[in-house]
Amino acid sequence: MTLTQLKHLPRAWKRGTDFLGTRYAIMCGAMTWVSEANLVAAISNEGGFGVLAGGNMPPEVLEKEIAKTREKTRNPFGVNLITVAPAFKEHVDVVIREKCPHVFFAGSIPSGRDIAAVKAAGLKLVCFAPVLSLAKRLIKQGVDALVIEGNEAGGHIGPVSTSVLAQEFLLNVTEVPVFVAGGIGTGEIIAQYLSLGAAGVQLGTRFVAAEECIAHPRFKEAFVRAAARDAMSTTQFDPALPTIPVRAIINEGTKDFNRLQLDLLTKVKAGAMPREEAQVKLEEFWVGALRRAVVEGDVEHGSLMAGQSVAFVKKIQPVREILDDLVTGAEAALARMAGEGS
């Protein structure tokens, strides 16, 4: 659907498209091993906003990935950095040196020093905010936009649903654009969040099944076959070993994680291993398991990180079709809200 055919959407998400510099205020979440140059560029080329997953990339690899993306698209895209990644400081240096216009900080709460460094370089900074008080603090520190992500999302998740976060944030934050993420799979729900004041949305799970996504065919097929209830979050067994819940399609890898968590918990309680070391081993499990699934196609013991919106992944299709589906649904829903049509 072209811009000339859209009547309601351009106005509804103008704040988002102005901020991103895109045709559509639809961002693709940064998914490790998945959100690389091919998918990011394809999304940006079709009017959306792709986001590179910096994750645990060596700094020189991140630099090359940014260059590859720029070779494939002249349109805006972002770079997502994980604040707890071992090379985070070097990643910040890379995005500043490469003059990446939009930088995302995810993971733990970023330091004021890192925020100031990105801002001083003239880059736009987007941060994830799990609670309203933190959002207000980040805004005061100069963050340009926020992403709120509900626990329906895939991968590492927080405790609150998207619908509750949307009400809390969108009715109370007006200083900066707020993008909504978690469980978004249709244009109709995008329209609902826009009507509440969202600047745009972020989704990842539906883009996994894009033809342009480099994920292994078996990984994509697992998404096509899955229902919403198949994407379940892990459980923390005991507060003695705090773990961040991870939402993924249940498979043998889920059982492997549970066995590892129980084994590490036993060692921590016995004093045989420091809690911090055990937490690192749990994170290492997810990094390795996700790579096995995405890159090698091990959908039995690898990690199938997916949001509950996997219910709306019906087939493997081009990025253009996915965006057209979302945009068409959102436009039609906004038209109905305006009293046009049935």
Q: Within this chain, do residues 133 and 282 fall inside the same structural domain, yes or no?
A: no
What is the pLDDT, as a whole number, of residue 55? 87
Kindly indicate the confidence band of residue 1, based on its pLDDT and cuts at 50, 70 and 90.
low
Question: Domain span at residue 116?
Answer: 3-215+314-336
**Cα–Cα distance, 13 to 124 (Å, whole number):** 18
Q: Output the average pLDDT for the chain.
A: 95
Q: Within this chain, do residues 157 and 245 fall inside the same structural domain, yes or no?
A: no
Under 8 Å between Cβ of 261 and 282: yes
Percent of the chain past pLDDT 70, that is, above it, reads 98
- Chain CA centroid to CA 267, Å: 33
pLDDT tens for 198-230 read 999 999 999 999 999 999 999 999 999 999 999
pLDDT tens for 228-254 read 999 999 999 999 999 999 999 999 999
**Cα–Cα distance, 37 to 181 (Å, whole number):** 22
CATH number at residue 327: 3.20.20.70
Q: Within this chain, do residues 320 and 285 fall inside the same structural domain, yes or no?
A: no
**Residue 308 pLDDT > 90, yes or no?**
yes
Q: Within this chain, do residues 175 and 154 fall inside the same structural domain, yes or no?
A: yes
pLDDT (average), residues 312-332: 97
Q: Is residue 303 part of a domain?
A: no
Q: Is residue 157 part of a domain?
A: yes
Q: Within this chain, do residues 182 and 276 fall inside the same structural domain, yes or no?
A: no
Q: Within this chain, do residues 24 and 94 fall inside the same structural domain, yes or no?
A: yes
Residue type, 203: L
Number of structural domains found in the chain? 2
**Cα–Cα distance, 34 to 223 (Å, whole number):** 13
Parallel, antiparallel, or unpaired: how do β-strands 246-249 and 155-156 relate?
A: antiparallel
Q: What is the pTM of this model?
A: 0.95
End-to-end CA distance of the chain: 20
Q: Within this chain, do residues 19 and 123 fall inside the same structural domain, yes or no?
A: yes
Residue 26 forms beta bridges with which residues? 201
